[in-house]
Amino acid sequence: MCGRYAASASSDDLVEEFDVVLDRTTEPVRSVLKSAQEPPAGSPDYNLAPSENVRVVLERPARRAGARDETSEEQLDEQSDEPVRQLRLLTWGLVPSWAKDPSVGMRMFNARAETVLEKPAFRKAALARRALVPADGWYEWQKSPTATLKGKPRKQPFYVHRADGRPIAFAGLYEFWKDPTADPADPLSWLATVSIITTVAEPGLDRLHDRQPLVLEQRDWDRWLDPTLEDPEEIGAMLAFSEPGRFDAYPVGRAVGSSSASGPGLVQPAPADELEGVVDPATGEIIG
């Protein structure tokens, strides 16, 4: 976890929900995908996967009028005044600024809450470049203790969402990587990336996976996004946040396993006759 999630809200709704000042999701961004993203980046999507461009909320100074998009991202803090809350498209899979190529992002689409303040790949971002990743819910694949498929434990996809129906905000970290082979004047020579932070799964959800995304409550959004907050102890306290009981989970159809599948049907409960050797997250009972 977290390797797939659903985010069906419109960008307009996200602007309102997260008090965004600047919506930049219509601007061209660099992609690491070999083919066009479907649904298009910035659209509601029920099956977002690593390497795709996803919508992210962050705070940093907006570039000055006339500046060339991302050609001076790392200098913006010195050139501007107050941070501006923005909704942007970032590639899911963090690429540190010092990476030789962006392929490392496929290994860093998640970051462990317990170590982000220590590991070189995440530490600088954890101290200064924190983000929120809006979502409806996420998917987990549970290994059956009783059923097998082709000699291996059968995996049942589950959809996890807030029991109260409220939007989810994953805690994330973002970075900027400059392509050394690209034209320095080309704004698409910059690749902006994000990693979703995970933590230990709470009781019940640990029957799906031993990890879950770190989901912050609205009362902590402003503090998490504040780029002037660099106190490791205060950041560490947010990284340790836990509030069990907020989520429900139920099995869904196996179509979600294909990264090309999308649509609201993916989050519909799977029929009972499709379930085999599935463990109920709430009770621990075997279904099917």
pLDDT in tens, 4-33: 999 999 999 999 999 999 999 999 999 999
pLDDT band at 106 (very low <50, low <70, confident <90, very high): confident
The tally of domains found in the chain comes to 1
| The pLDDT value given to residue 70 | 45
Average pLDDT value for residue range 106-122 = 94
pLDDT band at 181 (very low <50, low <70, confident <90, very high): confident
Domain containing residue 102: CATH number: 3.90.1680.10
| The pLDDT value given to residue 182 | 87
Q: How far apart are CA 25 and CA 63, in angstroms?
A: 15
| The pLDDT value given to residue 68 | 46
| The pLDDT value given to residue 63 | 65
| The pLDDT value given to residue 236 | 97
Token pair listed for 200: 């230990």
Q: How far apart are CA 258 and CA 46, in angstroms?
A: 12
Report angle CA 239, 84, 127 to the nearest 5 degrees: 30
pLDDT band at 64 (very low <50, low <70, confident <90, very high): low
What lies within 8 Å, CB to CB, of 121 at 6+ separation is 94, 96, 108, 111
Q: What confidence tens digit (pLDDT) does each residue in 119-160 have?
A: 999 999 999 999 999 999 999 999 999 999 999 999 999 999
Q: How far apart are CA 163 and CA 91, in angstroms?
A: 29
| The pLDDT value given to residue 1 | 61
What lies within 8 Å, CB to CB, of 76 at 6+ separation is 60, 61, 62, 63
Whether 207 and 142 have beta carbons less than 8 Å apart is answered as yes
- Residue position matching structure tokens 């070189």: 120
What range defines the domain where residue 206 resides?
5-287
